Copies of this chain bind each other. A is one copy, B any other.
Amino acid sequence: MKKSKIRVNFNNMMKHRLGSYGISEMDIKNLSSKINLAIKNLKQKREDGKLGFMYLPYDTKTNEDIKKVSSIVKDRFENLLVLGIGGSALGTIALHKALKHPFYNLLPKEKRKTPKLFVIDNVDPEVANGIFDVIDIKKTLVNVITKSGETAETVAFMKIIWDKLIKQVGKNKLRDHIVITTDKTKGALRKIVNENGFISFTVPENVGGRFSVLSPVGLFPLACVDVDIDELLKGAEYMDSFVTINNVWKNPAFMSALLHYIADKKFGAKITVMMPYSNALKDISDWFAQLWAESLGKKYSNDGKIVNEGLTPVKALGATDQHSQVQLYNEGPYDKVITFIRVENFKKDEVMPHNFKEEETFSYLSGYSMADLLNIEQRATEVALTKNKRMNMTITLPEISEFTLGQLIYMLEVETAFMGELYNINAFDQPGVEAGKIATYALMGRKGYKEKLKDFNLGKEIKRYII
């Protein structure tokens, strides 16, 4: 049986389409030694066990554990409340939106079948308060996800929920309502798991938050809403057979990274737009934005030079953003690479009826389906951009399924890791968020941080600079 492979088409990045605004095969050839070094380094990192995310597709044991727990809890609860932020939330949100009904939480129980899903990924006061108007906490399972076990935003909401659970279900029933996903041994949350006998899952030590969607971080909540997690992993495994090919011309992750790298270094294109033509795939851009921004936005190179590298991810949605961003993409600065995601076959569709026969401005649409129109608009936008010499590429999904999304997620992760090698930066740390964390602690007067307050004094505030 032929498998549904996703495809990357980069004709519209190249010279034969864009002339002097495009990339030539010579540009790629000129980078051979850099490419070979990047391939070698990445391979070495994998062999050294540093790229934990590349082991996830093969972790069948964890997968079985997840399915065991999720199969029990999913029928017992009306709501699943995920507490997590950044990498602990974005993958779950993206895949849930991609794979489930577009109005999932509004569906009646008999159509929905599995619990309503709420992912709380902010310390928003109105959300923290409002959530209790729409969920009965006695019928809610809470999945607390933080790798470090001490992420402020996640802990903040957990403290509130904890209190309410104890009041409403009692302290001895607490553990029926809580599943914790955190580090295997470190952090306060693991201690609490051990002390209370909570059900828990592990975020592998060598898997960073933004690469963790195919670990229990994403897989447990997704399994609870009947996403086929076996197929997700099979998709990732299938993609693994392509992204380990050493020839960049056969490796979609390497080639895609390389094209973005050249677009930046040769043309100064520092903005990466991801523009799926499908509402279901909208939040994949959000997940990708974190992956790309946190991995590649770095001050120092691996050899300690100040480089201030980074491509800025921009989220767009077709066809909607044709009426918003596309004017800029067609006519603004030549500072972007636009990646379309296109779906060949949609699960559901609606055909436009043959009404308004007298009105040509309406009737030309008759007989086309929504999917037809959407894909024609994608094609039209791609063509217009290419005619305007704007670099763009298209990832095609044969359909939206666990198998194709597993491929997509995994390909983009490997692409990001490879980008790190090309830029000669560490794609796996995030030193640039530390200062903000410390400033938060200092401003809150947390023990041991008060004396840091002086480091965060910005000096005098000029009154006429406030209007």
Q: Does A31 contact B (CB under 8 A)?
A: no
Contacts of A317 in B (CB 8 A): 122
B433 touches A326 (CB 8 A): yes
Q: Does A72 contact B (CB under 8 A)?
A: no
The residue in chain B whose Cβ has the minimal distance to the Cβ of A360 is B447
Interface-side segment among A55-63, A147-155, A197-205, A224-232: A147-155
A324 touches B290 (CB 8 A): yes
The residue in chain B whose Cβ has the minimal distance to the Cβ of A280 is B126
B443 touches A376 (CB 8 A): yes
Q: Mark A91-119, 1 if CB is under 8 A from B, else 0.
A: 00000000001110111000100000000
Contacts of A249 in B (CB 8 A): 464, 467
Q: Does A446 contact B (CB under 8 A)?
A: yes
B319 touches A335 (CB 8 A): no
The residue in chain B whose Cβ has the minimal distance to the Cβ of A9 is B466
B9 touches A85 (CB 8 A): no
Number of interface residues of A (CB under 8 A): 155
Q: Mark A454-466, 1 if CB is under 8 A from B, else 0.
A: 0010111110111
Question: Complex formed: what's the CA distance from A320 to B119 in Å?
Answer: 12
What number of copies of this chain does the assembly contain?
2
B435 touches A387 (CB 8 A): yes
Given A293-B327, A329-B297, A332-B310, are A123 and B319 also a contact pair (CB < 8 Å)? yes
Interface-side segment among A34-42, A213-221, A362-370: A362-370
Q: Does A193 contact B (CB under 8 A)?
A: no
Q: Does A380 contact B (CB under 8 A)?
A: yes
Closest 5 CB pairs of A and B: A86-B323, A310-B332, A297-B328, A380-B439, A290-B324
Query: Can you pick out 13 interface pairs between chain A and chain B where the beta carbons lie within 8 Å of each other?
Result: A7-B466, A9-B466, A13-B465, A103-B130, A122-B374, A160-B352, A188-B356, A310-B333, A313-B325, A330-B432, A376-B443, A377-B436, A380-B442
Q: Does A169 contact B (CB under 8 A)?
A: no
Given A310-B328, A436-B322, are A456 and B347 also a contact pair (CB < 8 Å)? no
B436 touches A380 (CB 8 A): yes
Q: How far is the CB of A158 from chain B (nearest CB, A)?
A: 8
Interface residues of A in 1-58 (CB under 8 A from B): 7-14, 16-17
A111 touches B133 (CB 8 A): yes
Q: Does A303 contact B (CB under 8 A)?
A: no
B290 touches A255 (CB 8 A): no
The residue in chain B whose Cβ has the minimal distance to the Cβ of A359 is B188
Q: How far is the CB of A268 from chain B (nearest CB, A)?
A: 10
Contacts of A459 in B (CB 8 A): 16-17
Q: Does A65 contact B (CB under 8 A)?
A: no
Contacts of A443 in B (CB 8 A): 376, 379-380
Q: Does A315 contact B (CB under 8 A)?
A: yes
Q: How far is the CB of A339 from chain B (nearest CB, A)?
A: 14
Interface residues of A in 235-288 (CB under 8 A from B): 242, 249-252, 255, 270-271, 278-280
Partner of A133, one of B107, B125, B314: B107
Q: Does A451 contact B (CB under 8 A)?
A: no
Q: Does A76 contact B (CB under 8 A)?
A: no
Question: Complex formed: what's the CA distance from A460 to B335 in Å?
Answer: 25
Contacts of A436 in B (CB 8 A): 322, 326, 330, 377, 380-381, 383-384
B433 touches A330 (CB 8 A): yes
Partner of A156, one of B111, B160, B373: B373
Contacts of A309 in B (CB 8 A): 332-333
Contacts of A458 in B (CB 8 A): 11-12, 17, 383, 386-387
Question: Complex formed: what's the CA distance from A436 to B319 in Å?
Answer: 11
Contacts of A325 in B (CB 8 A): 289-290, 293-294, 313
Contacts of A348 in B (CB 8 A): 125-126, 129-130
